[in-house]
Amino acid sequence: MLILTRKTGQAIVLDNGIEILVSSIDGDQVKIGIQAPREVTILRKEVYEEVRQSNREATSSKANLQKLLGVMEKNS
Protein backbone atom coordinates (compact mmCIF):
# COMPACT_ATOMS: atom_id res chain seq x y z
CA MET A 1 0.00 0.00 0.00
CA LEU A 2 1.21 3.47 -0.86
CA ILE A 3 1.33 5.76 2.15
CA LEU A 4 1.43 9.51 1.59
CA THR A 5 1.74 12.33 4.10
CA ARG A 6 -0.72 15.20 3.62
CA LYS A 7 -1.64 18.32 5.58
CA THR A 8 -5.09 19.80 6.05
CA GLY A 9 -6.20 21.35 2.78
CA GLN A 10 -3.90 19.18 0.69
CA ALA A 11 -5.22 16.62 -1.76
CA ILE A 12 -4.39 13.58 -3.81
CA VAL A 13 -5.51 12.98 -7.38
CA LEU A 14 -6.21 9.48 -8.66
CA ASP A 15 -6.37 8.56 -12.29
CA ASN A 16 -6.87 12.16 -13.48
CA GLY A 17 -10.49 12.19 -12.33
CA ILE A 18 -10.74 11.54 -8.59
CA GLU A 19 -9.64 14.04 -5.99
CA ILE A 20 -9.29 13.17 -2.32
CA LEU A 21 -8.92 16.13 -0.03
CA VAL A 22 -7.94 16.13 3.64
CA SER A 23 -10.57 18.59 4.79
CA SER A 24 -9.91 18.75 8.53
CA ILE A 25 -8.34 16.79 11.36
CA ASP A 26 -9.66 16.64 14.90
CA GLY A 27 -7.89 14.19 17.19
CA ASP A 28 -8.25 10.75 15.60
CA GLN A 29 -10.99 11.90 13.22
CA VAL A 30 -10.18 12.97 9.71
CA LYS A 31 -12.71 14.61 7.43
CA ILE A 32 -12.13 13.68 3.84
CA GLY A 33 -13.63 15.28 0.76
CA ILE A 34 -13.92 13.24 -2.39
CA GLN A 35 -14.63 14.55 -5.85
CA ALA A 36 -15.23 11.81 -8.39
CA PRO A 37 -17.16 11.15 -11.60
CA ARG A 38 -20.76 10.04 -11.04
CA GLU A 39 -20.13 6.45 -12.07
CA VAL A 40 -17.64 5.94 -9.25
CA THR A 41 -19.14 4.27 -6.19
CA ILE A 42 -17.89 5.59 -2.89
CA LEU A 43 -18.60 3.60 0.27
CA ARG A 44 -17.30 3.36 3.78
CA LYS A 45 -15.35 0.13 3.81
CA GLU A 46 -17.24 -1.32 6.77
CA VAL A 47 -20.56 -0.90 4.90
CA TYR A 48 -19.11 -2.58 1.84
CA GLU A 49 -17.80 -5.47 3.96
CA GLU A 50 -21.08 -5.82 5.84
CA VAL A 51 -23.08 -6.14 2.62
CA ARG A 52 -20.62 -8.63 1.19
CA GLN A 53 -20.75 -10.73 4.34
CA SER A 54 -24.53 -10.46 4.46
CA ASN A 55 -24.81 -11.59 0.83
CA ARG A 56 -22.62 -14.60 1.47
CA GLU A 57 -24.69 -15.60 4.46
CA ALA A 58 -27.90 -15.18 2.48
CA THR A 59 -27.24 -18.03 0.05
CA SER A 60 -29.89 -20.61 0.68
CA SER A 61 -31.53 -23.64 -0.88
CA LYS A 62 -34.93 -23.59 -2.52
CA ALA A 63 -36.09 -26.14 0.04
CA ASN A 64 -35.52 -23.50 2.73
CA LEU A 65 -37.91 -21.19 0.88
CA GLN A 66 -40.72 -23.71 1.31
CA LYS A 67 -39.93 -24.09 5.01
CA LEU A 68 -39.84 -20.32 5.46
CA LEU A 69 -43.20 -19.93 3.72
CA GLY A 70 -44.70 -22.52 6.03
CA VAL A 71 -43.49 -20.56 9.04
CA MET A 72 -44.70 -17.24 7.60
CA GLU A 73 -48.16 -18.70 7.06
CA LYS A 74 -48.40 -20.06 10.60
CA ASN A 75 -47.43 -16.71 12.07
CA SER A 76 -49.46 -14.39 9.86
User: Rounded to whole angstroms, how far apart are CA atoms 65 and 38?
Assistant: 38
Edge to edge, the sheet with strand 29-35 lists 11-14, 18-26, 29-35
Number of residues lying near another protein (CB under 8 A):
30
Q: How far is the CB of 10 from another protein (least distance, A)?
A: 26
Query: Does the protein bind another protein through residue 67 (CB under 8 A)?
Result: yes
User: Rounded to whole angstroms, how far apart are CA atoms 20 and 40?
Assistant: 13
Query: Does the protein bind another protein through residue 47 (CB under 8 A)?
Result: yes
List contacts with another protein (CB under 8 A): 38-39, 41, 43, 47-48, 50-62, 64-65, 67-73, 75-76
